[in-house]
Structure 1
Amino acid sequence: MSQVADILTRDDGAPARLSGTVYDAIVQFIANGDFALNSRLPSEAELSVRFGASRPVVREALARLREDGVIVSRKGSGSYVTRRPDMAVLKFTPVGSLADVQRCFEFRAGLEPAAAALAAIRWQDEHLAAVKGALDSLEDCLQRGVLGAEEDNRFHEAIAEATRNQYHVSVQRSLRPHIAIGMSVTRNLSLMRTEARIRTVQDEHVAIYEAIRRRDADGARRAMETHVLNARRRMFEGVDE
């Protein structure tokens, strides 16, 4: 099977949704340098032939890449590479799911800030203790240099519990497998960076907790939104960023 055909097929051999897999394939070509930073991408027609996909499918994949800051389109000129993600992002992400991880971050950026704001208003002592316990566990992971993806997930689920709203709780739990992938990828990437970078991520969690503790709903909303959007951006940090 060719490299492109392999990218366009999920691990179980079932056909993947082509716009997402074309997205993943383009990211891989950019990450390994086949499409160089600041270079012009092949035209939609050329990409369509290369990936065996229709032009509308390619167009949708390119639109997603623009939204994620990987490429930029210039009127009358085409699409250009603006970021070169680290190849590690492909190592840590299951085949065919990179686009889905980004869309999950997009959804979380709307859902979780609202949950944090509600948690700030409604928490009871046991809820705040659970959030703080998860935060302390994350700090321990940082000190020991371990991944902490499970502890990260517990932190976010504890905030959902603090809303005392069963819909926030059930949605957060139902998304757990999808959220876990994004957390694992971003935290693995962080472990490859400087200690200051890892501390920055932890400081974002601290800011969320402190706003909730103060019952600052607006502050909690902003802190959570900042954190999720930063996590989404960190997915595509390049080797020199």
Structure 2
Amino acid sequence: MSDSANLFDRIDRPRRLPDEVAVSIIGAIEGGQLMPGDRLPTESELSKRFGVARTVVREAISLLRYDGIVNSRRGVGAFVTDASQRAAFRISPACFEKRKQIVQLLQLRTGVQAGASALAANTRTSDQLAQIEAAFKRMVVADERGPSDALEERVDSELLLYRYITEASNNPYYAEVVAMIEANIQNNLRSAFLKNAAASEFGPEIIAEHSAVLDALRAGNMEAARTATRTRFERAADRLAARADFA
């Protein structure tokens, strides 16, 4: 094991101390500073290095043990496990935080996208509608192939679909906000976004939500487009927030 004296930085009053400690330890593991089989510093040592109480460290170690990232040996300490032995469907505190951010972005996008869709129903051109239809068809094909075969194609087609709808609103301010939301997803949250899509955003019921938006755009019905879009994004946020491994 390499010298652990400089592995961790002191934490100054974060909101969720055990999660922050756990994330820091995960970072050391992912960065190769702690290797499979290495023993973590003692609770007392970690407490001093992070500047937190031992109870905080104990809870952080418990989170890591639950995720299968470390295992504890009574009277000996906590050891980094081999990646192949870790639980496949358990997630780190960092991933919990990213999911919360995705929920917040979906909540923000609900109102913004609903307004853009309403305008698009009234202002879209036949060429813009054809572009929207094509993106929807690509999304449907990818959805039918399933998350194991077409996850990224499915997610990117959906992002493109709503980007085209927003552009069809002919309101550049809506386009700017939606671009900001999409940039956050692509640059900071893509991995968690893909995992959530694979778990809860495939299937006929989900496609029907998008189809209702498209039907309203075809009909030029502003209020129907607003309602269908709001329903779509509210349900997506609700599904993520309700997942058992997110609560």
TM class by smaller structure:
0.5 to 0.7
Q: Between the two proteins, what is the percent identity of the paired residues?
A: 20
Cα pair distance change 1:108/1:143, threshold 3 Å: same
1:174 aligns with 2:190: no
SS at match of 2:220: coil
Matches within 5 A, 1:67-106: 88=89, 90=91, 94=95, 96-106=97-107
1:212 aligns with 2:217: yes
After superposition, what is the alpha-carbon deviation per residue over 1:5-64, rounded to whole angstroms, capped at 9, x for unaligned? 444559878xxxxxxxxxxxxxxxxxxxxxxxxxxxxxxxxxx99659xxxxxxxxxxxx
Runs of 4+ in structure 1 displaced over 3 angstroms? Answer: 1-13, 48-52, 87-91, 93-96, 179-183, 236-240
TM-score (ref. length: structure 2): 0.58
Rounded to whole Å, the distance in 1 between the matches of 2:195 and 2:204 is 17
Q: Cα offset for 1:3? A: 6.6
Q: Counterpart amino acid of 2:141? A: D
Matches within 5 A, 1:74-223: 88=89, 90=91, 94=95, 96-145=97-146, 146-147=150-151, 148-180=154-186, 181=189, 183-190=193-200, 198-223=203-228
Relative contact order, CA 8 A, sep 6+: which one is greater?
Answer: 1
| Alignment correspondent of 1:233 | 238
Rounded to whole Å, the distance in 2 between the matches of 1:115 and 1:9 is 40
Larger Rg: 2
Cα pair distance change 1:51/1:8, threshold 3 Å: farther
Q: Is the 8 A contact 2:135 2:161 kept in 1?
A: yes
Q: Cα offset for 1:88? A: 4.8
After superposition, what is the alpha-carbon deviation per residue over 1:125-171, rounded to whole angstroms, capped at 9, x for unaligned? 11111111110001110121121111010011011111011111222
Matches within 5 A, 1:4-43: 4-7=19-22, 9=24
Rounded to whole Å, the distance in 1 between the matches of 2:104 and 2:25 is 18
Q: Is the 8 A contact 1:10 1:96 kept in 2?
A: no
Rounded to whole Å, the distance in 2 between the matches of 1:134 and 1:11 is 38
CA RMSD of aligned residues (A): 3.3
Q: Cα offset for 1:188? A: 1.3
Q: Cα offset for 1:198? A: 1.3
Unaligned runs of 5+ in 1: 14-47, 53-86, 192-196
Unaligned runs of 5+ in 2: 1-7, 9-16, 29-52, 58-87
Q: Is the 8 A contact 2:140 2:207 kept in 1?
A: yes
